[in-house]
Amino acid sequence: MHHRHKTASAASAAVALLALGAVTSGVVATTPAGGATARRAGIGCHRPLNILLTNDDGYAADGINAVYQALVGEGEHVKVVAPATNQTGQGGALAYGGTLTVTQPVAGDPNVYAVSGSPSDSVALALGVLYPNGGPDLVISGANAGTNLSRTINHSGTVGAAVTAMDLGVPAIAVSSAHPAEFDPHWDGTGSMNYSGTGTLLRRIVRTLQRTADGCRKLMPGRLGLNVNYPAGTFKGTRVTTLGTREPIPTTYTPTGAGQYKVGYSLDPLYAATDDQQGRTTIDYRLVARGFASITPLDGSLGVQPPGHATMAFVDRLVARLNRTER
């Protein structure tokens, strides 16, 4: 399991919990007689998406392969371009010199590429080399082994890869799957990441984006990204969330000798969130602790830039639709 992962930058402001009754205006018009007319021209994407899939755990990791199979099973056109080895915690690290080696390590599958670099290297190289006539419709990074929540995303290779795509003008989704040990101080050693549930939610997000898009090349508003985290326990639904100001998985340093320290991490903030199930909150890790999947809008900026009304309205509508289909 990989807990100390994640980088990237994201601005976030207080967001009210979604209104479950929200709908998209303008999708279906009504005639004076009260009948529904045809959909507005240009709404929706009615072809398979071209998706670039990456991660920070490496191309052979279980999470990315579960997502790959889920998306291909839906008929999407997917290219996997991911690190050759585990790059957990590399954030948005990007090579500005040297040589990157690219291989096709999976016999019989020409759509899988392994890159001797970081997650951001993988995305930047793919967009510059494999898509010479225009980028993919969407970049997905994950599913990561373990959560990427609140301040942890500043160190996350999973989120860093998504932000690199956003910086280059391609909408992106970072997706992570919680490990049961993250939120349970009495974990008995059984169970693992729920990649099946994570893949199901991701498929539904992608389908919803396709149905509501302003064409296949505009699945989301400009330079918007989503950070998705799926719970380890019983799935209770999906919520629009915000980033907390606290590092939910702080690192620890224990002296082991002269000038030497063993690096570890603490899950105490996540355990505390599990113990506190009361009150209203929009903080991502607190809602994941309660069994909800979190969807946090990202813009990749380190500056203080509260999300605009149009951005939050888009995310609210997306999550409202997801919750309606979960019933």
Distance from C-alpha of 116 to C-alpha of 123, rounded to nearest angstrom: 12
Residue type for position 197: G
Query: Where is the binding site, in residues?
Result: 56-57, 144
pTM over 0.75: yes
Tens digit of each residue's pLDDT (9 = 90 or more) over 42-72: 589 999 999 999 999 999 999 999 999 999 9
> Is the distance from CB of 155 to CB of 176 less than 8 angstroms?
no
Lowest-confidence region among 103-107, 135-139, 306-310: 306-310
What's the Cα-to-Cα distance from 72 to each of 110, 119, 194, 269, rounded to whole Å? Answer: 14, 21, 19, 37
> Quick one: DSSP state of residue 180?
G
End-to-end CA distance of the chain: 31
In this predicted structure, the answer to whether residue 7 has a pLDDT above a threshold of 50 is no
Distance from C-alpha of 220 to C-alpha of 236, rounded to nearest angstrom: 25
In this predicted structure, the answer to whether residue 156 has a pLDDT above a threshold of 90 is yes
Query: Where is the binding site for a divalent metal cation, in residues?
Result: 56-57, 144
Which residue is it, tokens 């969807």? 295
Domains by residue range for the chain, with CATH: 28-326 (3.40.1210.10)
E strands, the chain, in order: 28-30, 36-39, 50-54, 77-83, 102-103, 112-115, 138-145, 172-177, 225-230, 237-240, 251-257, 260-265, 292-298
Whole-number pLDDT of residue 327: 54
